[in-house]
Amino acid sequence: MTLILGFAPFILFSILSRLSADLALWIAFSASFVVTIRDFVERPVLRLLDGACLALFGLLALGRGFVAPELSLAAVRAILEGGLTLVIAFSLLRRRPFSMDYASNETHGHVWPLPAFVRINYTISIAWLLAFLAMTITDTAVLFVVVPLYVGVAVNIIALGLTTTLTLRYPSRAAARL
């Protein structure tokens, strides 16, 4: 469940961005700050996803607010999703899926060394990578190719819905086998 909290700033941004991109960026940055500080106080280690969300939302909020206010919502979404795609890919390349930071905290290290636990976290991280890759490609297509915005929104909703469902259900089923 804490993994979903790690994505809370992005989810907030996705929902609020239809009202105001600037408001959505600042609220997502604030939520990211709260999530990061809350987790950091409990365990003084900065998780990769928390740090990336804090940096991405902070830089995008400042950039769109003061440097490039003409930056479109589609461009902001493509930059944000591309950044998160790179962060997740980086975590997989360094052989430490980002989801392990959340899962090891929830299991208190009891199943950390088990191969099934590592495999579950690779599966979850790859699913999030594919979801963000699909969203990045779709939002880039909305930005540069004439693809209707509703296609981008539909892909984002489907990708987030499927990945969130997998994140919530897959570990509990696999944990029953451990």
Contacts of 175 (CB under 8 A, 6+ apart): 111
Q: What is the pLDDT of residue 164?
A: 72
Q: What is the pLDDT of residue 134?
A: 86
**Is 1 a residue whose pLDDT tops 60?**
no
Query: What DSSP designation does 63 have?
Result: I
Q: Which residue has the tokens 């490039």?
A: 68
Q: What is the pLDDT of residue 172?
A: 45
- Provide the whole-model pTM: 0.81
Among 12, 50, 11, CA closest to 33: 50
Sequence spans of domains, the chain: 2-177
Across 35-41, average pLDDT: 85
Distance CA 116, CA 129 (A): 20
